[in-house]
Amino acid sequence: MSEEPRLFGTPREWAKDLAIATAVGVFFGIIGPFGSFLGGTIEIRVAYWVANMWIGFVMLTTIVRLAIRVAAPLDLPIWFALALGVAIGVVPLSIVLAYFSAMVWPPNHGHLTPLFNQYGQVLAISEPFAFGYYFLLDRGWTGAVRGARPVAPDAIDAPPPAGTGAGFLDRLPPRLGRDLLCLQMEDHYVRVH
């Protein structure tokens, strides 16, 4: 039986995501991309970038998961849904971050970055980050896309006995088909998608 993945993830996944966002924020605070190295002390830069990464993670993770879920019934490729979801999600994220920067970033205090510039900067960070994150740390979004459903016990086909020399795909029940998407390790079991 397969359990459908939660659309918005588990608390444990969010904790890991925010830890990754914190690490990326610290890194960006140290290197100071987009001219941010010119303003404030390193502590202010790190705090600013960590806050930016947290806001971005929360907004984009939610929007991308929704985009991937909507793309599934339309049979759109994952990469397209991911790219489009990020491109659309960066619009509200850019607005939020532009106002955030105007309120807390010392060089911008009281001044909004032009939204087109803000959009380009946020997109330049978000697209490659989202693709790397998705393909390196698959969070079960593939299951959310495919709409994994429980399998009825009478629909289970017994695989051929192990050690018969059959190839891996030949040992799988025929109802699964032969289009292998991924293998997912679960303790000492392997889940085939």
Beta strands in 15-137 (DSSP E): none
**pLDDT, averaged across the chain:** 76
User: Does pLDDT of 90 surpass 90?
Assistant: yes
Per-residue pLDDT tens for 51-79?
999 999 888 888 888 887 888 788 888 88
State the pLDDT at residue 192: 78
- State the Cα–Cα distance between residues 132 and 37, nearest whole angstrom: 25
State the pLDDT at residue 101: 84
Predicted TM-score (pTM) of this structure:
0.62
Kindly state the tokens that stand for 35: 């001219």
Q: With beta carbons less than 8 A apart as the criterion, state whether 173 and 157 touch.
A: yes
